[in-house]
Amino acid sequence: MSTQTIAVHLPDGAVREVPAGTTPLDIANSISPRLAAACIAARLIPLAGAAQAADAGEEPSEAAMYAADDAAKPRLVDLTAPLTADTRLELVKENDPEALKVVRHSAAHVMATAVLELFPETKLGHGPATDSGFFYDFYREKPFTPEDLALIEAKMAEVIARDDKFVREHEPREQALAEFEKDGDFMKTHFVTKFTVPGDEVSFYRNGKFVDFCRGPHVPSTGRVKAVKLTTLAGAYWLGDEKNPQLQRIHGTAFFSQKEMDAHFARLEEAAKRDHRLLGKQLDLFSIQELAGPGLIFWHPKGAMIRKIMEDWMREECLRRGYSLVYTPHVAKVNLWQTSGHEGFYAANMFTPMELDDANYRMKPMNCPFHILIYKNSPKSYRDLPVRLAELGNVYRYERSGTMHGLLRVRGFTQDDAHIFCMPSQIEDEVEACIDFAKAVLTTFGFKEFKVELSTWDPNDRAHYAGSDENWKLAETSLKTVLDRKEIAYKVIPGEAAFYGPKIDIKLVDVLGRLWQLSTVQFDFNLPARFEMEYVGEDGERHQPVMVHRALFGSVERFFGVLIEHYAGAFPLWLAPVQVGLVPISERHHEYARKVEKELKAAGFRVEIDDRNEKMNGKIRDFANQKTPYILVFGDKEQEAGAVSVRTRGKGDQGSAPLAEFIAKAKALVEGQSMEL
Ligand SMILES: [Zn+2]
Ligand SMILES: [Zn+2]
């Protein structure tokens, strides 16, 4: 060994001169043994070039698992990896975004260790960390059973308790291949052949007796896998080919602590309870009918009531904010889609053409060309601008069968779509108004938090963007100016603009902290040019207007799905399809029930009477299961007093109140679109 000295640059700017072969663990220990104990791995960042993030969010691809490291990029290594050249070094602790992946990949090795100890005939495939956990593919003639999973989990606890070190070893490639072939390890042979070249050294990781072909890195020892759970068992063909042997893929997840893992499963459970497909059925809101086809939504009376309220609100707001409402057809001749460019750029997402006697037609995937035709139907002057056309337009897009998901991914949906045609000087005000409108949608429907992204073009990639530099600059500057003026924090995403212009996306955050992409405000230089749109300016000359596409619910179906999950089906009073459930205690109170119903309906409430010959408690339970905001119960006492006994969702029995008092209070809540009861 040489006694060469290398320079290790630490994040605080300190530079350590150490002998080559020093490990990140040595350096951590020299800072503090407590720090060393808290480290999971280390990140080496080449000194030349900027320190960009290493492969964050990368798919668990095989190449990422096995291919040789790119020494020019930041990369994670074991704490015990000898440092051989000058480098920048970051010690990776639990708070590092990549730390959990290292733990999860180590958990996959722990699982494979347990499997081989229990079922030594098993052959190993691929075992990466994923965004939510890890998996390992196994080949075994006899498939694993759910009982086996419990055995494997118990054995994993033993492997973890042994706290064996993860040790990196090397072997000449040809020797490794010979050993794998001798043992019939066909999958490992495949990976080594595919991802290394003759003459390479192949790296292995050993913990106890278990050895796996792997690039790493790993946690220092098996005991560092603190909380782990196996979740599912699924079959998959080797290399995705059904002629190949069927593999068993065992999924699991791992966390830094049992507490974090418990919180994760509690969140999953909560999300499952809120699943809009489940609640849609329970509350009889909507269905998808096999006979009609997937991805096509049937709105049942209660779901349709909520939709009506959403749409009424949206139309009223559009009118208040200076939009004109329009309706347009669901199909149009292919010629229109050629002019708009959809035939060229978007055909793969459209329903195939229908041949009629005069021409071929297509279902519309977007409303934009139709609104343009309305604009173009009469000459426009600068005095007419901006023209704002809004429509709750049904559009149809082709999604592959098997990819649809409830209300979230469908083949037919309704956009709350609008197109604004204006002069360049009006862009900022129009965009600002769109953002105000989007915020009004989110707060009115009960969302407190949102995130904003500004997608810009890539000036070096002209092939993928239409429009001049000048236009792009104008559009991007005005979007930025508006966001800055409104003091809205946003993330710029370069190269993510649509081909026709930059856009602002607004993602809302639901009650479980999940992000949903809904509202979008997009610039367009392309369509006005394709359709040769014009207005006569103050100068008497013809000019091309600028076009803004904007959708705020995005898709009414999708927004409804998000609302169902956000509220877990317990809609605020103003949105609830049935606001008040009436429970007469016995038959002699039915007449009073009708009177109460009449008064409530006259006051504008949506009411349902349960006059079945059932027990009071059963009727109350049924309304409660439907998440009805108020249940009014009455017997002799209430009838005599002209009162009702009020049960409030989430609060229980509130005692008796005069009917007029209840009506006044509930009415105020509806009018204020209140989230409270
Ligand atoms: Zn591995
Ligand atoms: Zn549009």
pTM of the model: 0.79
For 229-278, what is each residue's pLDDT tens digit? 999 999 888 888 889 889 999 999 999 999 999 999 998 998 899 999 99
Ligand 2 centroid from CA 503, angstroms: 12
pLDDT at 1 over 70: no
Angle between helices 427-444 and 301-320 (to 10 degrees): 150
Q: Which ligand is nearest to the CA of 205?
A: 1
* pLDDT of res. 55: 40
Residue type, 377: N
- Listed residue (230, 237, 134, 251) closest to 187, CA to CA: 237
Cα separation, 624 vs 581, in Å, equals 9
Ligand 1 centroid from CA 230, angstroms: 17
For 78-87, what is each residue's pLDDT tens digit? 999 999 999 9
Catalytic: 417? yes
Share of the chain above pLDDT 90, in %: 79
Q: Which ligand is nearest to the CA of 365?
A: 2
Ligand 2 centroid from CA 272, angstroms: 34
For 593-643, what is each residue's pLDDT tens digit? 999 999 999 999 999 999 999 999 999 999 999 999 999 999 999 999 999
pLDDT at 527 over 80: yes
Where would I find the H helices in 493-603?
Answer: 526-530, 556-567, 590-602
> 168, 251, 364, 503: which one is catalytic?
503
> 419, 558, 647, 649: which one is catalytic?
419
Q: Which ligand is nearest to the CA of 104?
A: 1
Ligand 1 centroid from CA 66, angstroms: 9
Residue pointed to by tokens 């960042």:
45
In this structure, which residues have their CB less than 5 angstroms from ion ligand 1?
Answer: 214
Catalytic: 419? yes
Catalytic: 101? no
pLDDT at 59 over 70: no
Q: Which ligand is nearest to the CA of 328?
A: 2
* pLDDT of res. 70: 65
* pLDDT of res. 72: 72
Q: Which ligand is nearest to the CA of 368?
A: 2
- Listed residue (555, 552, 518, 561) closest to 303, CA to CA: 561
Residue 312 tokens read as: 């009424």
Catalytic: 503? yes
Work out the average pLDDT over 654-660. Answer: 95
pLDDT at 52 over 50: no
Ligand 2 centroid from CA 353, angstroms: 21
Ligand 1 centroid from CA 195, angstroms: 14
Ligand 2 centroid from CA 394, angstroms: 12
> 274, 302, 397, 627: which one is catalytic?
397
> 415, 522, 579, 639: which one is catalytic?
415
Please, which residues have CB within 8 angstroms of residue 127's CB and are 6 or more apart in sequence? 105, 108, 109, 111, 112, 134, 135, 136, 137, 212
Q: Name the pLDDT band for 68 (thresholds 50, 70, 90).
A: low
Gap between the terminal Cα atoms of the chain: 76
pLDDT at 63 over 90: no
Where would I find the H helices in 32-78?
Answer: 33-38, 62-66
> 549, 558, 566, 649: which one is catalytic?
549
Catalytic: 558? no
Q: Name the pLDDT band for 69 (thresholds 50, 70, 90).
A: low
Work out the average pLDDT over 155-161. Answer: 97
* pLDDT of res. 609: 96
* pLDDT of res. 236: 82
For 311-334, what is each residue's pLDDT tens digit? 999 999 999 999 999 999 999 999
Which bin fits 645, alpha (ψ -120 to 50), beta or left (φ > 0)?
A: beta
SS3 628: coil
Catalytic: 415? yes
Ligand 1 centroid from CA 68, angstroms: 14
SS3 379: coil
pLDDT at 57 over 60: no
Work out the average pLDDT over 491-499. Answer: 88
* pLDDT of res. 512: 82
